[in-house]
Amino acid sequence: MKYLDHFYINGRFVTTDGRARRDVINPATEGIAGTIAMGTAEDVDLAVKAARRAFVTYSQSSREERLTLLRRVLSIFDERAEQLAQLTTLEMGAPITFAREAQIAGARAHIADAIRILEYYEFERMAGPTLLSLEPVGVCALITPWNFPVLQIVTKVMPALATGCTVVLKPSEYAPISPMLFAEILHDAGFPAGVFNLVNGDGPTVGAAMSSHPGVDMVSFTGSTRAGVQVAKSAADTVKRVHQELGGNSANILVDDVDLESAVTKGVLAAYRNAGQSCTAPTRMLVPRHLQERAIEYAQQAARSVVLGDVTDDRVMLGPVMNELQYERVKSLINKTIAEGATVVAGGSERPQSLSRGYFVQPTVFADVIPHMTAAREEIFGPVVSLIPYDSVEEAITITNDTPYGLAAYLQCADLSKAMAIARRLRAGQVTINYPAWDASAPFGGFKQSGNGRECGEAGFEAFVELKAIGGLQP
């Protein structure tokens, strides 16, 4: 909180006198968690120029120099992990257990993975007589969302810095508190001035200035598809690279050979992670029609097992949605789906009776959902699961792919050869079979309107390098 009303430009936390101020609202209490300064196009210009100057030397740094810096980041991150978790709970209402075990532990895993990859990554390789040189793309404008405020920053910043790029970051104005502590971590790790810069602000002002700035070589954006389109348009005039991770409405196909109770329970609880505010949430649960009644029973039980309440309590599983706008939107989409004929078998649009404040939405399950309904078409981004019956695997594949999105898909099938045959036909950037352990290195990104490019693992490094072919090195 020390530098919350500052920006971080050219290696310093700079004061922001005269800038407009914005309160950060704790969605669990509706109270003020802090106040930030809102940046301008002039602030972006200063940050980009600092990054441009720093790129000249940082792009030529050695692998070992960058490894030393990243290892320092990891060490300091570990020292401040609990503080980061507490701030995540403060600014976005994530239950403290989830903040520790997913939000911050996940971010740590991505830092460690970036170090692991940098240790062996081949920046130069021969292809016949030609040397292929993978070189940093340049100054990168990174625009990150509020739903995973530190983790999403890490998945962009770490590979960018590991490959020799310099950075200007705009975190979400709804969740900027933990990102400012992350800026302190990078500062204390000793990165040269200008390598990392942070300007707070909103999308139409700071985001647009970053996307259109001629000194920026690449924009990496995570957020809604609507906003992603605007970023791409702003970047087009300067023909910069645009990397986008956008919306989703992921299907979870349950094949009739699985343990239905386990598959439904795990699927419902997975959809409620982060209050359903995950672009990969398995919100559309496709169930064989003859198993639908049993699936409804198991889904009801799973929804009713979810503990709501004080997000600082280790036992609480479900926090609020992010802000009043999102709260009203989720309730509206629930009511619209009811009006279309879906059956509410758990939850609904009313505030949980046990809570008098905060943007809490009941863990909700719809049954009798058909593919044209709102819940099956739109990304609700709240704790809502829709049970969709199907009559054949062929129909399930068709329903899964019948969406403008293609970020993730889930498949529960005991026969792995059958599962692979189905997975190959799903138009999604990630297909997850039988709820495996999370893999920090798995490339992350989508098909269709879910974006382009990939984050995480080696693919995350490739997003931040340009390929140069050098010939004439052999006689």
pTM, two decimals, is 0.96
Range of the domain at 283: 251-440
Same structural domain, 204 and 289:
no
CATH of the domain at 198: 3.40.605.10
Q: Tell me, yes or no, whether 391 and 258 share the same domain.
A: yes
Mean pLDDT, all residues of the chain: 97
Is residue 466 flagged as an active site residue?
no
One domain for residues 166 and 296: no
pLDDT at 127: 94
Identify the pLDDT of residue 360. Answer: 97
C-alpha closest to that of 299 among 360, 383, 379, 401: 383
> From start to end of 38-148, where are the E strands?
124-127, 130-136, 139-143
SS3 category, 451: strand
Give mean pLDDT, residues 48-75: 98
Same domain, 26 and 157: yes
Give me the mean pLDDT over the 389-418 stretch: 97
- The predicted-structure confidence for 116-156, as pLDDT tens digits, reads as follows 999 999 999 999 999 999 999 999 999 999 999 999 999 99
CA angle 375, 379, 382 (to 5 degrees): 85
Contact yes or no for 224/247 (Cβ under 8 A): yes
pLDDT band at residue 435 under the 50/70/90 scheme? very high
In the chain, the number of structural domains is 2
Does 405 share its domain with 462? no
For residue 471, the one-letter residue type is G
Q: CATH code at 399?
A: 3.40.309.10
Q: Is the pLDDT of residue 409 over 80?
A: yes
Residue 345: what pLDDT?
97
399 in Cβ contact with 390 (< 8 Å):
yes
pLDDT of residue 474: 78
30 shares its domain with 157: yes
The answer to whether position 142 is within a domain reads yes
Residues 61 and 14 grouped into a single domain: yes
Which is catalytic among the residues 140, 165, 173, 245? Answer: 245
* 288 pLDDT above the threshold of 90: yes
* pLDDT above 80 (res 1): no
Q: With CA atoms as reference, report the closest residue to 407 among 322, 320, 280.
A: 280
Q: Is residue 139 part of a domain?
A: yes
- Is 176 found in the same domain as 57? yes
Model confidence pLDDT, tens digit, residues 16-59: 999 999 999 999 999 999 999 999 999 999 999 999 999 999 99
Residues 6 or more apart whose CB falls under 8 angstroms from that of 390 comprise 286, 287, 288, 289, 396, 399
What pLDDT is attached to residue 2? 82
pLDDT band at 334 (very low <50, low <70, confident <90, very high): very high
> Is 245 a known active-site residue?
yes
Residue 445 falls inside a structural domain? no
Indicate the residue type of 257.
Answer: D
For 37-40, the CB contacts below 8 A with 24+ separation are 37/5, 37/6, 37/7, 37/200, 38/173, 38/200, 38/201, 38/202, 38/205, 38/206, 39/7, 39/170, 39/199, 39/200, 39/201, 39/205, 39/206, 40/201, 40/205, 40/206, 40/209
Per-residue pLDDT of 343-393, as tens digits, reads 999 999 999 988 999 999 999 999 999 999 999 999 999 999 999 999 999
Residue 203, Cβ density class (10 Å: 0-12 exposed, 13-18 middle, ≥19 buried):
buried
